[in-house]
């Protein structure tokens, strides 16, 4: 996250509460997460309707559906994604990331959240392909299609959705907290040194990802219904509507979860 420069946190009472937790009990990760979600509430609600985030999730729905086709390359062209039959898995994921960034350039209001969504999309695909076929190095487009086809069922799409939203939400929380974390490390602070700050960041990341399990079943049912109704042509509007609900579920899960 160090390459995204965001400045200091606002000096509101709620953000001061987040800083007090960092200084006092950073090991209480659920409390830090709840406080951060509360302090960033307005921004997180806006992100739920962000077109760049919605576009990344829409790409995820469409590439998994395209993987069912006998002609994967042609199916991808229907979403204006140009790939070649001899592309590798890594080059495909890179092309898809570029496509997401190209779209986000049309929505400057998305700010750094567009990049976080692009990174979450990349990770969801990388994890999906890696879990199915081992190392990504040397794997082909055909290998990727086989992996993605396995995630084009209702239940399995729920898993890849959990990966996407978990990664995105984890990156968002860290993007807020890490603005100030360097100022709360050392003597007199809850994070005694760099090792402790890294451990805290990893724990917050894991907690957010695990909380995304609430999206999994919801995504499975939605995907099956939309696939049937749209005949495999899920629209951007429907994907955007799903993102809004999924983000609300995640906010509520983190805001009310007990330690």
pLDDT at 130: 66
For residue 237, how many other CB atoms are within 10 A of its CB?
A: 10
Domain membership flag for residue 222: yes
Dist CA 241 CA 239 (whole Å): 5
Domain membership flag for residue 210: yes
Domain membership flag for residue 35: yes
Task: Measure CA 154 to chain center.
Answer: 19
Quote the radius of gyration of the chain (alpha carbons, Å): 19
Dist CA 189 CA 175 (whole Å): 20
Give 3-state DSSP helix, strand, coil % of the chain, rounded to 5. 75, 0, 25
Domain membership flag for residue 6: no
Domain membership flag for residue 3: no
Domain membership flag for residue 4: no
Range of the domain at 71: 13-256
pLDDT at 4: 47
pLDDT at 243: 97
pLDDT at 2: 38
pLDDT at 9: 61
Domain membership flag for residue 2: no
In tens digits, the chain (259 residues) has pLDDT values of 334 445 556 667 788 888 888 888 888 999 989 998 888 888 888 998 999 999 999 999 999 999 999 999 999 999 999 888 888 888 899 999 999 999 999 999 999 999 999 999 999 998 887 665 555 666 788 888 998 999 999 999 999 999 999 999 999 998 888 877 777 777 766 777 788 888 888 999 999 999 999 999 999 999 999 999 999 999 999 999 999 999 999 998 888 755 4
The secondary structure of residue 8, as a DSSP letter, is P
Tokens of 222: 């939605």
Tokens 């978990």 found at: 166
Domain membership flag for residue 125: yes
Q: Count how many domains the chain has.
A: 1
């Amino acid at each position: 996250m160090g390459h995204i420069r965001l400045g200091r946190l606002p000096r509101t009472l709620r953000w001061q509460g987040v800083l007090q937790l960092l200084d006092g009990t950073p090991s209480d990760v659920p409390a830090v997460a709840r406080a951060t979600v509360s302090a960033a509430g307005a921004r997180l609600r806006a992100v739920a309707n962000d077109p760049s985030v919605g576009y990344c999730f829409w790409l995820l729905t469409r590439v998994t559906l395209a993987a069912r086709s006998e002609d994967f390359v042609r199916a991808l062209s229907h979403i204006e994604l140009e790939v070649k039959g001899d592309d590798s898995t890594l080059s495909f994921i890179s092309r898809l990331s570029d496509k997401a960034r190209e779209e986000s350039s049309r929505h400057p209001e998305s700010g750094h959240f567009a990049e976080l969504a692009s990174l979450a999309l990349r990770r969801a695909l990388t994890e999906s392909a890696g879990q199915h076929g081992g190392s990504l190095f040397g794997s082909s487009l055909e290998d990727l299609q086989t992996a993605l086809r396995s995630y084009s069922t209702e239940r399995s799409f729920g898993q890849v959705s959990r990966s996407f939203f978990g990664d995105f939400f984890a990156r968002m929380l860290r993007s807020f907290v890490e603005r100030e974390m360097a100022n709360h490390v050392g003597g007199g602070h809850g994070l005694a040194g760099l090792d402790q700050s890294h451990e805290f960041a990893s724990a917050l990341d894991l907690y957010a990802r695990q909380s995304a399990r609430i999206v999994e079943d919801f995504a499975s049912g939605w995907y099956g219904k939309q696939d049937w109704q749209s005949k495999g042509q899920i629209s951007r509007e429907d994907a955007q509507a799903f993102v809004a609900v999924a983000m609300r579920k995640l906010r509520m899960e983190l805001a009310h979860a007990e330690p």
